[in-house]
Structure 1
């Protein structure tokens, strides 16, 4: 644990990542005693983290039975997509408008690391770097704290996106989109970067279709009508 950061926030991020990567599978119990021992933390920060995950519907708390990982909830996947399509799109435009030379090294390092992870097809590292790239855009836009708003609202969507990396292995396509977005940011081309980002956003919809077809076991009510057309 990093002593500079709160234990509860670190436990939250560790559990969130484990849920999104399916290392903690849907319907799996959250075993507080084992997790506390493994991380070397008391029950208090663990329970604070669990409560935060519960507010994002990544876990469900059954008072008489325990705490369990939720399945992917289709309506919340779409809700997360709406957040990205509105808030993050606006921030991406602002990042192009406000781009400064001080961000060049950060973006270039991010792209270098993404390229390396893509070549190795390291899904965990690449997905983390994907999110880091978009967090960097929020910083460049001048609203670094906005990333936490997006991060907290897109847990279910991130589960879908992360699983899509495993099923589709589209590392090179995502890297190329990020590289193109960076070039538009550098030239302060708001419309250009928004157009590329929209392509990336729209790629979520075929990923959802693949998820429903290939892994219906991880989706809550997969048999229900999942009307993507509501927000397309």
Structure 2
């Protein structure tokens, strides 16, 4: 049942529906292949079908919904091609970000990275998975800031969002956080030492953490992926 969300002058019913469905999809409350009804969502939120249709369109633009005329709308299945494309783009962008960050990092940049790590460790200790996810994004944004390429974070943000659902299906959250923190710490140490090659090596390893997840999901839940051809 959709939550009763108080409307405000700044928010629209489209925003409310979008935010609710987006959260459900990225946290796997709605799984790849699940069908959702425009009429049912409209009824749950007490709105007309137009704002729901607009929210569906926004989610489709994020590659999270598959809208098919005269057929049920469904949560988008994973596409291996899109995953590979996303990782290719991120690897290219983040390699350059890490190279520039290593060249530009000063005492202030090193202090920012250290502060980010302290916050991540606190979130892991508290088992605050949601906060850790936000801090993970903040760490990559900080790297872009140090690299003097804040615009690169827009690309990283878009591509990272495409695989967040896969990450949710990955290793146990309590196990995953320490592994990511270790990666982040190694990246920060390399950046602070102006070791671009070392930072890039760890950064690419960080991106490859998804490989085991993909292999496991294709073996246990092949229906979560689009069929080739």
TM-score (normalizing by structure 2): 0.76
Q: Which ranges in structure 1 are unaligned for 5 or more consecutive residues?
A: 226-232
Name the residue aligned to 2:125. Answer: 119
Name the residue aligned to 1:194. Answer: 200
Which shows bigger deviation, 33-42 or 177-186? Answer: 33-42
Name the residue aligned to 1:228. Answer: none
In the aligned structure 1, how far is the partner of 2:15 from the partner of 2:55?
Answer: 7
Residue 71 of structure 1, aligned match among 77, 82, 87: 77
CA contact (8 A) 1:18 1:24 kept: yes
Which shows bigger deviation, 108-117 or 47-56? Answer: 47-56
CA contact (8 A) 1:212 1:219 kept: yes
In the aligned structure 2, how far is the partner of 1:2 from the partner of 1:175?
Answer: 38
Which shows bigger deviation, 200-209 or 153-162? Answer: 153-162
Pair 113,80 (structure 1): closer, same or farther in 2 beyond 3 Å: same
The answer on 1:209 being equivalent to 2:215 is yes
Pair 210,185 (structure 1): closer, same or farther in 2 beyond 3 Å: same
Q: Which ranges in structure 2 are unaligned for 5 or more consecutive residues?
A: 1-6
CA contact (8 A) 2:129 2:173 kept: no
Name the residue aligned to 2:4. Answer: none
Q: Which has the larger radius of gyration?
A: 2
In the aligned structure 2, how far is the partner of 1:104 from the partner of 1:5?
Answer: 38
Alignment of 1:103-114 (within 5 A): 103-114=109-120
Pair 109,33 (structure 1): closer, same or farther in 2 beyond 3 Å: farther
Which shows bigger deviation, 11-20 or 54-63? Answer: 11-20
Residue 159 of structure 1, aligned match among 150, 154, 165: 165
Which shows bigger deviation, 179-188 or 211-220? Answer: 211-220
In the aligned structure 2, how far is the partner of 1:39 from the partner of 1:147?
Answer: 34
